[in-house]
Amino acid sequence: MKSLQNKIFLFFVLLLLVVQAIALSTLIAGKNNQELLQINNRLTTAKTIFSELFDSRSEYLAAFAETAAKDYGIKQVFHDDTRSLLVAMNNHRKRINADIAMAIAADNTITGQLLLTREQDEQRKVRQGPEKGELFRFSDWLDSQQQSHLYLLGDAVYQLSLSPLTVGAKTIGWLAFGFEIDQRLALEFMGITGLATDFILKEGENWRMVASSNPEADLAFARNIVQGFTPDTYIGVGHLITDHDQQVFGVAMYGLRADFVEVLQKQWLQLLMLAVITLLLSLAGAYLIAGSITKPITRLVEQAKKVASGDYHQTIKLDDQNELGQLADEFNVMQSAVLSREQAITHRANHDPLTDLPNRNMLKLTLNHLTKHQKKFALLHLNISRLKDVNDALGHDVGDRVITETANRLWQLPDFQLICHLGGDEFMLVVELTPDIVLDFLVNKVQLALEPNFDYQGISLQLQVRMGIALSPEHSSETKTLLQMADTALHYTRKARQQLQVYHADLDVNSVERLSLINDLKKAITSGQLELFYQPKINLKSNEVTHVEALVRWQHPNLGMVPPDNFIYIAEQTGQINALTQWVFSTALAQYKNWCALGITLNIAVNISAENLKDDDFYSFVCQALAAYQVPAENVTLEVTESAVVEDPESAIALLSKFKGQGMRISIDDYGTGYSSLAQLKQLPVHELKIDKSFVQKLKDDEDDQIIVRSTIELAHNMGLSVVAEGIEDDYAKCWLAKHKCELGQGYFISRPKSALELTTWLQEQKIIAGEKEAL
């Protein structure tokens, strides 16, 4: 996980590692340097000590020989008998414990030689040397200024110093004293330096081991050291002393490197341990620091997640006064801001902006809640009556005031679970039905609350509502259905012009079917479920059938006969009206041809929808169909409703004019139900008016209708139009219309719409009756 804590920690780790690496590498370099330095130091020191020791021995010997040579006692006995000389020499020798003492006469003869020998029992004894009476081998030493020499005698090597014995300026002989270079010296030296010491000597071409502090000393090894070739496991230094005699004297000082660096290694290990401990402590510290930095951030992240998930109720509190603390405070501020904003948004989403009452969302929630808990409740769907009139007459502001006033009054009702405003003039009240609640009483309460008139700017307005009620679970326990049912009930009130309707199943048969009809209609046109029925129109003057109106019927496979009012609307809304009208047209023309073949000639009227008038291809289709079936245009009537023309008068008039030009008859259907003005009517290229059946059906009893129909007929005749009356259901109406010179009549009294076959038979019967009448 690439968390900040890990990053910081990683950064610290890297930093620490780098620092430690640098420190360690410095230490290692330092350690190596130090080791080297110390080794060099030690070796140099050893070498210096050896030189100093060796030289001081020489100087000591030289000084002593000089002193002894100045001694008058020695001078006095120098040429006396040997015994006296030897005793005198030994006295001097003893003072410095010299290993050799010699007297050399002016003629280079050794007149006395004393050696300190080591006997078998490790006792030391002074004996006369073997060279007494012999010539001193190194006569050139006698005149030399060099006082110190290496003197070889037998296997032994001596550091020897000579001093002349003088009488005034005259040299009468020499005295020599020397120390042996032996194991004692090597051991003494090792005691000082801690290094094993070998003394080797080159005589002629051969080296030999003179003495060593090391019982297992090796000549070749010592020679290598002296020549500077020290094996890696050792430290060592050599020193060569070349006398101006032929001898070369070498000193090898050495020790095991491991022994020497052991202490250093120990210190180094301690240092390393310390570094590791420091590193671990630092890492732990870094981890804690990283944790302490990121802990508040982690808490902020958690808080952010909580806020994101919608939990606004926990605030975060950091003890830090730093930026993170401030961030936490800002976080809380932001959180409360988000909370209030979200509350506002939620409120907005769930409430109507105008009335601030809960809206459809809240309604759904409440209903879901109630249905989920299987509560009994009632749904009251309210609709403010005539709000459209208020809006139109007084403006939308007043309309809104009416809505808000209604909302206010509803809101004050105490018994409802929910009073919501669905928008516009619609409200929905929800009440849970407990045994002590009487629905009628509640409804009454609502009506009472809205009963007082509402005064607005001096206008007294009536807040009248219509109400559709649905009950759960009595009607349905499904929210959606329930809402639909309340809606249906409300709709019914409008139709039935009543204030209140409780839902019952009969109310919404149509609407239930509609959905399936939409789908089925398409199939119906192609699969022959549709059928044309024909309702005859009679010439009221001659009582002859001269016209028929083609009416489409849908024989639905499941629902049986579907009335046209139910599906024509659907066809119009779903864009299928063109296909439907074309089918009707073609079928009607085909039937015309059939009747022609039987010697029956009828004018066929076809209903044209407003949608057909908008279709550009409709005109050419009609023309082609007429041509195809060879039907004379004057035998076809197009019935157009008033409202269809009113929607778009200009294009409707233009199209209708073209049909008229073709010779077809144009009839205004349902005349009197629309609101078309006479001015419009005047412009329409029509031949006849078809008075709506609502005026004709009650003609017998309603004088108003009589006035309307009579004046309409007169008006039409005055404008040169013929008149058709539909809805003739009794003889009175038929006679009344004939009397008032209405040209054509249509209605159940004359004939119901009949199938083509029925109608043919019926027409033939009518002819026979007519023929019989004539015959009578």
Give the Cα separation of 253 and 212 in Å (integer).
Answer: 10
Give the Cα separation of 618 and 52 in Å (integer).
Answer: 138
CB of 74 to other proteins, least distance (A): 9
Contact region with other proteins (CB under 8 A), list: 167-175, 273-281, 338-346, 694-702: 167-175
Give the Cα separation of 332 and 325 in Å (integer).
Answer: 11
Q: Would you call 698 helix, strand, or coil by DSSP?
A: coil
Q: Which of 655, 544, 633 is nearest to 585 (CA)?
A: 633
CB of 44 to other proteins, least distance (A): 37
Which phi and psi (to 5°) does residue 163 adopt? Answer: -140, 135
CB of 171 to other proteins, least distance (A): 10
380: its two tokens: 């009251």
When binding is defined by CB under 8 A, the residue of 34, 90, 109, 166 that contacts other proteins is 166
When binding is defined by CB under 8 A, the residue of 7, 70, 94, 541 that contacts other proteins is 70
Q: Are the C-beta atoms of 299 and 315 separated by less than 8 Å?
A: no
Block residue for tokens 């297992």: 216
CB of 70 to other proteins, least distance (A): 7
Give the Cα separation of 613 and 607 in Å (integer).
Answer: 11
Give 166 or 543: the residue with its C-beta nearer to other proteins.
166
Contact region with other proteins (CB under 8 A), list: 71-79, 516-524, 664-672, 764-772: 71-79
Contact region with other proteins (CB under 8 A), list: 117-125, 163-171, 184-192, 480-488: 163-171
What are the Cα distances from residue 537, in Å, to 542, 744, 768? 12, 6, 18
Task: Give the x-and-dash track for 17-56 against other proteins (CB under 8 A).
Answer: ----------------------------------------
When binding is defined by CB under 8 A, the residue of 76, 242, 519, 651 that contacts other proteins is 76
Contact region with other proteins (CB under 8 A), list: 74-82, 340-348, 585-593, 703-711: 74-82
Which phi and psi (to 5°) does residue 544 adopt? Answer: -95, 145
CB of 80 to other proteins, least distance (A): 9
Q: Are the C-beta atoms of 688 and 716 separated by less than 8 Å?
A: yes
445: its two tokens: 């309460």
Question: Would you say how long the chain is, in residues?
Answer: 776
When binding is defined by CB under 8 A, the residue of 9, 54, 64, 78 that contacts other proteins is 78
The DSSP bridge partners found for residue 466 are: 383
Give 49 or 106: the residue with its C-beta nearer to other proteins.
106
CB of 78 to other proteins, least distance (A): 6
CB of 101 to other proteins, least distance (A): 19
When binding is defined by CB under 8 A, the residue of 79, 305, 523, 541 that contacts other proteins is 79
Q: Which of 266, 448, 433, 428 is nearest to 358 (CA)?
A: 428
CB of 167 to other proteins, least distance (A): 4
Give 63 or 187: the residue with its C-beta nearer to other proteins.
63
Residues 169-228 that bind other proteins (CB under 8 A): 169-170, 172
Contact region with other proteins (CB under 8 A), list: 67-75, 185-193, 573-581, 626-634: 67-75
When binding is defined by CB under 8 A, the residue of 10, 19, 87, 167 that contacts other proteins is 167
Count the residues of the shown chain that bind other proteins, applying the rule CB under 8 A. Answer: 12
Block residue for tokens 């700017």: 457
When binding is defined by CB under 8 A, the residue of 72, 228, 309, 776 that contacts other proteins is 72
| 260 binds other proteins, rule: CB under 8 A | no
157: its two tokens: 């090597």
Contact region with other proteins (CB under 8 A), list: 164-172, 703-711, 733-741, 748-756: 164-172
CB of 219 to other proteins, least distance (A): 46
Which phi and psi (to 5°) does residue 541 adopt? Answer: -80, -45
Contact region with other proteins (CB under 8 A), list: 161-169, 456-464, 520-528, 719-727: 161-169
Give 164 or 423: the residue with its C-beta nearer to other proteins.
164
Give 66 or 342: the residue with its C-beta nearer to other proteins.
66
Give 174 or 695: the residue with its C-beta nearer to other proteins.
174
Half-sphere exposure of 144 (CA within 13 A, CB side): 15
The DSSP bridge partners found for residue 638 are: 606, 666
In DSSP notation, 381-439 reads: EEEETTHHHHHHHH-HHHHHHHHHHHHHHHHT-SS-SEEEEEETTEEEEEEE--TT--H
Q: Are the C-beta atoms of 741 and 713 separated by less than 8 Å?
A: yes
Helix (H) or strand (E) holding 616: none
Block residue for tokens 């009397």: 739
CB of 94 to other proteins, least distance (A): 23
748: its two tokens: 């159940």
Binding site for other proteins (CB under 8 A): 70, 72, 75-76, 78-79, 166-170, 172
